């Protein structure tokens, strides 16, 4: 146990790193690291370092099993590449704040003084500040020996063999030409070394470059040394030249092939990183589950270069499968009833199934759930071909699917939040409406009830003037109630989409005249003037526009003292029919103007009569004008007062000659 100095703060977060390999006992090492991470409540990461060396099929399968096993135990899978495994492990450990490293110790020992240090010895030397736990890499059933110079050669293709022969044939011709020009043998040797480099670049694997090294020595000895067309030589130093040439060619070819392998790995890493970056960027812009699924599957087709099937959850059930096609067109039967049944099983059981798994291994696709926690948003099916997914591709695939699940979860949360906001707003509107009705309708109802009771019980004892005043009060209160109920019914129908519009072409002056006939009798105390241009034909629902004008004129009457001037103007402005209701009252305060068209907003303005407004009239007017594709605005009337201006679309007049 390592003691920390008193002045140092204790570590706040543990991070366990386990190193992956193809060794049979690596599963035991991963299990031990997982137990440590669970006991310490630590972050758990499994790291594999690619060195560019090819692995045979058995080792590759073992490595894939260990990666999947680490993932099942909750490890975060990380893959990197480099020439030196301990250097890569140490670099990642420092950058990721690793506190404990768990690694296996093979049974290999130094054979002599010049033997290389083991991986664990180098790691301890590079990162002495990190605790390293060495687990014996030995199993009871036997020992796993790794040959120090195992060379898994890729069998060259006919194309690579022909390229190799062609390159060295050209090198030989150039060498013969150089001899005619009396160039030294050193120049000719460099030509063959250049041929080895070119072979390493244009062919796959190591075999062609190594074979080219031997072929260059053979061709140089056979065609370019005296006596020609034989492997004998008159010069004493030529065997040494051949040996040095062979060693140089082999080393050059091996280094070039190794650099090419590392460049290929780097290109793959860059491409896959770009896929992740593009996926994250596009998912942030995507809206809705289907668009998110389209973005995800398109990116996976780019990554894997194979066709995909995808299913999205809609209303609690899995939808019909969608097919996404890559460059290859071998679609196959990927959307059969059997395959879709497996996809539904994955959705219901929230775990992967299909090819390469224990559930439905005979399926044509590997099915993975798009899930976040216990919630499944969809299923993706990936056809499994002869070249199965390697561990790195699988880890990138899981990362993309997790990004998709997170995006779908965010989209679902946004929809639910919006729905909750709408419900909350509706509840608030309903509460405001009930409160306004219960409070503000009480006054006119009580007035009507009291006046009617007075007429019933004491009507014969009242003089004619008093009775007429009572009749007038009952009429005014009932008219006010009728106007409120009319506005309330109209705005609820408009908000629910049940209000049917009947558009027709109407003359503005006739609409204004009709609206004035609906104004209550109190307008006699006001001077109402009309100034309308002739023959202005507008497209409107005449019943609703009359209601808008009535509300605006009544609003002016309510909030201005008797004797005020109310002017109604009609004109053409910028290709629209414009109506203005002007008054010269006290006006509206600036702090009230932004809320004047909000439902149930009444402000603090004193009403001329005893009735409080419910705040529905202007909100209804605004909604009706918007439905007519017009605008309703409030401006100040100089020197005092208000102007309500709304626009309507002009009608097109067709003349039949």
Can you give 46-84 as a three-state secondary structure string? EEEEECCCCCCHHHHHHHHHHHHHHHHCCCEEEEEECCC
Give the bridge partners for 537, in sequence order: 507
What is the 8-class DSSP label of residue 593? Answer: G
- The percentage of residues in the chain with a pLDDT greater than 70, rounded to a whole number, is 78
Q: Give me the helix-helix angle, 464-496 and 442-458, nearest 10°.
A: 150
Residues 6+ apart with CB under 8 A from 450: none
Q: Could you give the CA distance from residue 193 to residue 245 in angstroms, rounded to a whole number?
A: 8
Q: Contact, 171 vs 216, CB < 8 A?
A: yes
Same domain, residue pair 311 and 382: yes
Q: Does the structure show a pLDDT above 80 at 535?
A: yes
Is residue 465, in this structure, part of any structural domain at all? no
Contacts 24+ apart (CB under 8 A), 327-335: 331/307, 332/307, 332/364, 332/383, 333/364, 334/307, 334/309, 334/364, 334/365, 334/381, 334/383, 335/309
Q: Does the structure show a pLDDT above 80 at 207?
A: no
Give the bridge partners for 133, in sequence order: 102
Residues 6+ apart with CB under 8 A from 148: none
Q: Does the structure show a pLDDT above 90 at 147?
A: no
The C-alpha R_g of the chain, in whole angstroms, comes to: 44
pLDDT of residue 326: 61
- The residue among 316 and 480 whose pLDDT is bigger is 316
Using one digit for the tens of pLDDT, what is the confidence trace for 295-304?
888 888 888 8
Structural domain including 172 reads 158-264
Using one digit for the tens of pLDDT, what is the confidence trace for 343-383?
889 988 888 888 878 888 888 888 888 888 888 888 988 88
φ/ψ of residue 17, rounded to 5: -120, 125
Q: Give the residue among 322, 320, 271 at the shortest CA–CA distance from 294.
A: 322
Q: How many domains does the chain have?
A: 4
Same domain, residue pair 519 and 645: yes
Q: Give me the helix-helix angle, 391-440 and 238-285, nearest 10°.
A: 10
φ/ψ of residue 427, rounded to 5: -65, -40
Same domain, residue pair 363 and 410: yes
Using one digit for the tens of pLDDT, what is the confidence trace for 458-475?
878 888 888 888 888 888
Same domain, residue pair 230 and 166: yes
Q: Which of residues 366, 398, 415 is at a domain's end? A: 415
pLDDT of residue 304: 80
Q: Mapping DSSP to helix (H, G, I), strand (E, B) and coil, where does residue 326 land?
A: coil
Q: Could you give the CA distance from residue 649 to residue 578 in angstroms, rounded to a whole number?
A: 9
Residues 6+ apart with CB under 8 A from 620: 487, 490, 491, 494, 547, 548, 551
Q: Could you give the CA distance from residue 397 to residue 294 in angstroms, rounded to a whole number?
A: 15
Q: Contact, 509 vs 536, CB < 8 A?
A: yes
Given pLDDT bands bounded at 50, 70 and 90, which one contains residue 507?
A: very high
In the numeric block, the tokens 């040797």 are attached to 189
Q: What is the CATH number of the domain that holds 564?
A: 3.30.565.10
- The residue among 329 and 208 whose pLDDT is bigger is 208
What is the 8-class DSSP label of residue 520? Answer: -
Same domain, residue pair 101 and 162: no
Using one digit for the tens of pLDDT, what is the confidence trace for 30-83?
999 999 998 888 989 998 887 766 666 677 778 888 888 888 888 888 877 777
Is residue 561, in this structure, part of any structural domain at all? yes
Same domain, residue pair 579 and 533: yes
Same domain, residue pair 102 and 222: no
Q: What is the CATH number of the domain that holds 306?
A: 3.30.450.40
Using one digit for the tens of pLDDT, what is the confidence trace for 536-589?
999 998 888 888 898 898 888 888 888 889 999 999 988 899 999 999 888 888
Q: Contact, 459 vs 471, CB < 8 A?
A: no
Is residue 7, in this structure, part of any structural domain at all? no
Q: Contact, 633 vs 644, CB < 8 A?
A: yes
Chain Cα centroid distance, residue 161: 47
Given pLDDT bands bounded at 50, 70 and 90, which one contains residue 648?
A: very high
Is residue 166, in this structure, part of any structural domain at all? yes
Which tokens go with 207?
């075999």
Name the average pLDDT for the chain.
78
Q: Which of residues 353, 380, 415 is at a domain's end? A: 415
Is residue 428, in this structure, part of any structural domain at all? no
- β-strand 15-19 against 100-105: which pairing, if any? parallel
Q: Which residues of 462-497 are buried (b: 16+ CB within 10 A; e: fewer)?
A: eeeeeeeebeeebebbeebeebbebbbebbeebeee
pLDDT of residue 274: 79
Helices (H), 286-390: 289-304, 337-349
Q: Contact, 315 vs 412, CB < 8 A?
A: no
- β-strand 43-50 against 15-19: which pairing, if any? parallel
Same domain, residue pair 294 and 410: yes
Which tokens go with 196?
């080895």
Q: Give the residue among 405, 417, 407 at the shortest CA–CA distance from 286.
A: 407
φ/ψ of residue 617, rounded to 5: -60, -55
Is residue 271, in this structure, part of any structural domain at all? no
Residues 6+ apart with CB under 8 A from 496: none
The structure's pTM equals 0.49
Is residue 273, in this structure, part of any structural domain at all? no
Given pLDDT bands bounded at 50, 70 and 90, which one contains residue 171?
A: confident
Q: Could you give the CA distance from residue 608 to residue 146 in angstroms, rounded to a whole number?
A: 99
In the numeric block, the tokens 């060794």 are attached to 23
Same domain, residue pair 253 and 119: no
Same domain, residue pair 236 and 339: no
Cα dihedral: 26, 31, 33, 34 (round 10): 140
Category of 497 on φ-ψ map: left (φ > 0), alpha (ψ -120 to 50) or beta: left
Same domain, residue pair 506 and 594: yes
Neighbours of 60 (CB within 10 A): 16
Q: Mapping DSSP to helix (H, G, I), strand (E, B) and coil, where does residue 604 land?
A: coil
Q: Could you give the CA distance from residue 381 to residue 364 in angstroms, rounded to a whole number?
A: 9
Q: Could you give the CA distance from residue 569 to residue 579 in angstroms, rounded to a whole number?
A: 6
Sign of CA dihedral 482, 483, 488, 494: positive
Q: Which of residues 383, 415, 447 is at a domain's end? A: 415
Is residue 259, in this structure, part of any structural domain at all? yes
Same domain, residue pair 592 and 518: yes
Q: Contact, 382 vs 304, CB < 8 A?
A: yes
Sign of CA dihedral 384, 387, 393, 395: positive
Q: Give the residue among 656, 628, 654, 477 at the shortest CA–CA distance from 646.
A: 628
Q: Contact, 56 vs 152, CB < 8 A?
A: yes
Q: What is the CATH number of the domain that holds 55?
A: 3.40.50.620
């Amino acid at each position: 146990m390592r003691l920390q100095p008193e002045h140092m703060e204790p570590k706040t977060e543990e991070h366990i790193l386990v190193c992956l390999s193809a060794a049979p006992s690596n599963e035991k090492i991963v299990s031990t690291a997982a137990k440590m991470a669970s006991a310490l409540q630590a972050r758990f990461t499994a790291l594999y370092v690619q060195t560019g060396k090819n692995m045979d099929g058995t080792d590759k399968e073992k490595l894939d099993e260990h990666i999947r096993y680490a993932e099942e135990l909750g490890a975060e899978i990380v893959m990197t590449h480099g020439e030196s495994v301990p250097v890569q492990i140490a670099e990642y450990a420092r950058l990721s704040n690793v506190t404990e490293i768990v690694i296996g110790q093979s049974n290999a020992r130094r054979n002599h003084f010049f033997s290389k240090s083991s991986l664990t010895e180098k790691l301890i030397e590079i990162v002495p500040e990190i605790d390293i736990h060495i687990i014996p890499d030995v199993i009871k059933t036997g020992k796993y020996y790794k040959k120090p110079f195992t060379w898994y050669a890729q069998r060259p293709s006919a194309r690579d063999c022909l390229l190799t022969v062609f390159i060295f044939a050209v090198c030989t011709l150039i060498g013969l030409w150089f001899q005619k020009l009396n160039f030294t043998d050193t120049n000719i040797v460099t030509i063959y070394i250049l041929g080895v480099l070119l072979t390493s670049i244009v062919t796959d694997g190591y075999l062609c470059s190594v074979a080219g090294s031997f072929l260059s020595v053979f061709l140089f000895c056979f065609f370019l040394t005296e006596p020609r067309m034989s492997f004998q030589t008159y010069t004493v130093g030529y065997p040494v030249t051949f040996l040095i040439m062979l060693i140089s060619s082999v080393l050059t070819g091996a280094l070039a092939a190794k650099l090419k392998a590392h460049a290929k790995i780097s290109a793959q890493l860059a491409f896959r990183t770009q896929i992740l970056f593009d996926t994250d960027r596009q998912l942030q812009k995507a809206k809705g589950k289907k668009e998110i699924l389209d973005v995800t599957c398109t990116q996976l087709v780019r990554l894997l270069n194979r066709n995909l099937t995808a299913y999205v959850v809609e209303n609690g059930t899995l939808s019909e499968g969608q097919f996404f096609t890559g460059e290859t067109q071998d679609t196959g039967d990927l959307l059969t009833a059997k395959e879709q049944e497996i996809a539904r099983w994955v959705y219901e059981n929230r775990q992967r199934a299909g090819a390469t798994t224990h559930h439905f291994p005979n399926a044509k696709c590997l099915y993975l759930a798009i899930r976040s926690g216990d919630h499944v948003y969809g299923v993706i099916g990936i056809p499994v071909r002869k070249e199965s997914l390697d561990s790195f591709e699988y880890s990138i695939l899981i990362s993309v699917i997790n990004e998709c699940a997170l995006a779908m979860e965010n989209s679902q949360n946004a929809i639910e939040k919006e729905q909750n906001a709408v419900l909350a707003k509706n509840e608030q509107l309903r509460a405001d409406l009930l409160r306004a009705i219960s409070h503000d309708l009480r006054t006119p109802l009580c007035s009507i009830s009291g006046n009617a009771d007075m007429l019933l019980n004491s009507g014969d004892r009242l003089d004619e003037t008093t009775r007429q005043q009572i009749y007038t009060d009952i009429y005014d209160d009932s008219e006010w109630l009728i106007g409120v109920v009319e506005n309330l019914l109209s705005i609820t129908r408009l908000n629910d989409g049940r209000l049917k519009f009947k558009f027709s072409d109407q003359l503005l002056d006739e609409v204004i005249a009709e609206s004035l006939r609906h104004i209550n009798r109190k307008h006699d105390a006001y001077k109402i003037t009309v100034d309308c241009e002739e023959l202005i034909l507008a497209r409107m629902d005449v019943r609703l526009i009359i209601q808008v004008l009535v509300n605006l004129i009544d609003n002016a009457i309510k909030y201005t003292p008797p004797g005020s001037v109310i002017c109604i103007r009609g004109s053409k402005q910028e290709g629209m029919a414009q109506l203005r209701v002007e008054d010269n009252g006290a006006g509206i305060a600036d702090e009230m103007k932004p809320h004047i068209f909000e439902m149930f907003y009444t402000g603090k303005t004193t009403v001329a009569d005893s009735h409080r407004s419910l705040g529905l009239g202007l909100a209804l007017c605004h909604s009706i004008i918007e439905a007519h594709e017009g605008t309703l605005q409030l401006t100040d009337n100089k020197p005092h007062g208000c102007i309500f201006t709304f626009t309507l679309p002009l009608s097109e007049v067709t003349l039949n000659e």
